[in-house]
Structure 1
């Protein structure tokens, strides 16, 4: 009868059928994720120790989308404010290192005490090479410089490498308005040495400091 047939089916086939459906669903999702075209990242910004308010972050992102004339169907801008190095977060440090090495980051914004570590380790582009002369000259009173290391055993305070300009102080930018009054470690902005979108990074810097008007 029907009850016996259902019991037999449930005992011998139902679990296998469900497992097969789950497997098919997983494989389908995997193939879709791998094969479907992904938006091209035209600018990736890493912000360390600055968890911007959602409204501020959204405004920053919208501003850059308009600036770089981003097509939302094929392009995107990434602004990642999840990096937290205040408490020696290993996951954040590892993520930052991997993305930097693989060329997945363009702009780097961090407090000076953190910024100097990345400049010192040759992770940032000298701005004398990256910025147009007019931008460099206009920002001459905001530039951050430090020495770089010659070998892995050196510490920032003992750096023996050449001194270079690697960043621009950014405490007066609108996005940091909420930090005014108690900012003891000013933010600095620079360009990752492996950046794949250095032109867009420079365009963004020019815009942030009002030099495109």
Structure 2
């Protein structure tokens, strides 16, 4: 049987305290070495603006919005005579200018997106839409331009080529207008005393 003397017990207590002190000392060294620092980054994202407008007046005046899906009224085209007194074979012309407005921040491509006709003579009038120079006269020479849309009658629609639209050269400036020349032809099947209405839409998509 081993006898534990008071001095032995005291020695064990001292060793235990020293051992505890060594453990605490190691823990303190790790805590002091683990310095931390952080960096943060933030980004702000702002959308640009985009709006297409049209004019039946000229390449520089009379522009406004004509998007019927947003509550606007479609632009009323003014065709050349004799639009109100048609006979078979008559060919009529109407200009329409489109451009990106002064708030637009991106270039775009324009395409004819829909075409529809109503009225008793809708099946008796064919049409083509050409892109021509903004200052050109919308007449028989328009057929030398880029075909944007066509239809064997007002109830038919075939999209043609897209055309580019440039935003304004400086902030707050409208883009350069593009002219669309509508060419309507009365067919031999034209019925007397009745009318027809054609409606077309054009869509600009930002590049």
Report the TM-score when normalising by structure 1. 0.24
Give the number of the structure with larger relative contact order, counting CA–CA contacts within 8 Å between residues 6 or more apart: 2
Bigger Cα Rg: 2
Report the TM-score when normalising by structure 2. 0.25
- Counting helix residues as a fraction of each chain, which structure ranks higher? 1
- Counting strand residues as a fraction of each chain, which structure ranks higher? 2
